[in-house]
Copies of this chain bind each other. A is one copy, B any other.
Amino acid sequence: MKPSLVKGTRDFGPEQMSKRLFIFDTIRATFKRFGFLPLETPAMENLSTLTGKYGDEGDQLLFKILNSGDFAAGLTADGADQPPLHSKALLPRIAEKGLRYDLTVPFARYVVMNRHALALPFKRYQMQPVWRADRPQKGRYREFYQCDADVVGTDSLLCEAEIVLMVHEVMRNLGIEQFALKVNNRKILTGIAEMIGMPGQEGALAVAIDKLDKIGQDKVLDELRGRGFSEESLTALMPIFSVEGSTDSVLARLKEWLASSETAQRGIAELQETLQLVSQYGLDQPKTELDVTLARGLSYYTGAIFEVKALGVSIGSISGGGRYDNLTSAFGTSERLSGVGISFGVDRIYDVMEELSLFPADAGQGTAVLLVPFDADGRAVALPLLNQLRQADTSAEMYPDLAKVKKMLDYANAKRIPLVVLIGSEEVQTGQLTVKNMLTGVQEKLTADELIAFVTRS
């Protein structure tokens, strides 16, 4: 009985974990500095909370949890479950809970349940795993983390500007200096749909246009034909593929092209105001790029749309988000709570940082100092030193067995511990400890106090 992992799931061993923690800590600290507050919701939600929120495909991809106890009791009480047994008929009778599929629906549920205790605008961040019963494949997992920050309860475009700033801060703090932050506004897409004579079809337009990067212009047009877009409408659409250049010049061209669409003009004005606000922060080099073809396929965005890609690697978007009109509408609330949010994908950020060697040298660093006493007398010297090193916030450990020196040094190498302190009888007598730098191989003699001063300085 050889144990194995559930397909599509992963263990994260010490080295990966240390790097992942660097990413989590960086994102969390940045969220916090921007005034977002932490929230955690349970892994399990009632299926009534989850079902119907992610479309039919999403419902299929929910992991369902079998009811506890004698879940099949009463199954034969009526005829509904007589053989042949159908999954659809059986499901609601044996499972009423499911695993979190994203962080947005649990957030909306939380807001609905705690609405009266919340001060609006409410800014929350949430960093937790989600589960999807997708077919596992390279880069697609059944368990993965999402890191979301949202502000709800205000229409202010300052929130959009804040998100643009926060993306810059997260990237800078992670060390990803080369990135593109594409922005668009859903209202511009709506205006384009109007302009080309397909009003109300911005959803279909968005889904197709969203694939431009992957499948190219011709196939996007084919897909639109398949969705009932006429040749006239596609001809009218052509300018969308050629509006490039500086944000100002693109905005100017869009204003002209979409002059007759009030919605588009509003989208353009929102984008201009957002970028104007961003420019006031005194940011060194804003990485914002207007991309009219950015759609992110999601029908629930109603205003700003964001997408972040790292440059120099062929890894998809590492962050994305946008403004939505009504967070809690799926729960039948009458109050309209508009919001805007951003989500960071830890797995992709990890891949980018690994490929570009951006992790700081100490991100995977565990123990900094290994004490290696040769006998009980050496231990008597090592133990108080161990305590002092830790009090000085240094990760330190002592090899627990009295083994051969080579074995202890092998252990240090395997754990990539940079400093090893050898404590033999000579060291015990003189108080001069032998400190070996495992990277350079250089040894020197230091007293305990000098060692502590050294490690806390470096």
Contacts and interface: CB of A to CB of B under 8 A. Distances in A.
Nearest to A366: B37
Interface in A392-423: 393-398, 400-401, 410-411, 414-415
A4 B39 CA distance: 16
A393 B193 CA distance: 45
Protomer copies? 2
Given A83-B76, A143-B44, A113 B4 contact: yes
B17 A332 contact: no
Nearest to A17: B38
Interface string A2-40: 111110011111100110110000000000111101111
Contact of A281 (B9, B45, B332, B386): B386
Contact of A35 (B85, B133, B396): B396
A58 to B, nearest CB: 13
Contact of A400 (B73, B86, B151, B388): B151
Given A119-B415, A158-B400, A387-B283, A39 B14 contact: yes
Interface in A98-122: 99, 109-110, 112-114, 119-121
Contact of A66 (B60, B64, B83, B415): B64
Given A37-B17, A60-B69, A43 B129 contact: yes
Interface stretch (A89-97, A177-185, A204-212, A425-433): A89-97
Given A46-B6, A75-B83, A33 B394 contact: yes
Q: Is the interface of A mostly helix, strand, loop or mixed?
A: mixed
Given A9-B42, A32-B395, A367-B35, A48 B387 contact: no
A65 interface: yes
A131 B131 CA distance: 15
A124 interface: yes
Contact of A11 (B42, B90, B91, B119): B42
Given A11-B42, A35-B395, A75-B84, 6 more contacts: A2-B112, A11-B113, A44-B63, A63-B66, A66-B95, A281-B383
14 contacts: A1-B332, A3-B49, A4-B46, A10-B42, A17-B37, A18-B37, A32-B366, A34-B390, A35-B397, A66-B91, A154-B400, A155-B401, A156-B400, A169-B390
Task: Identify the 7 closest CB pairs spanning chains A and B, nearest first.
Answer: A35-B397, A119-B414, A14-B37, A9-B42, A156-B400, A17-B38, A68-B133
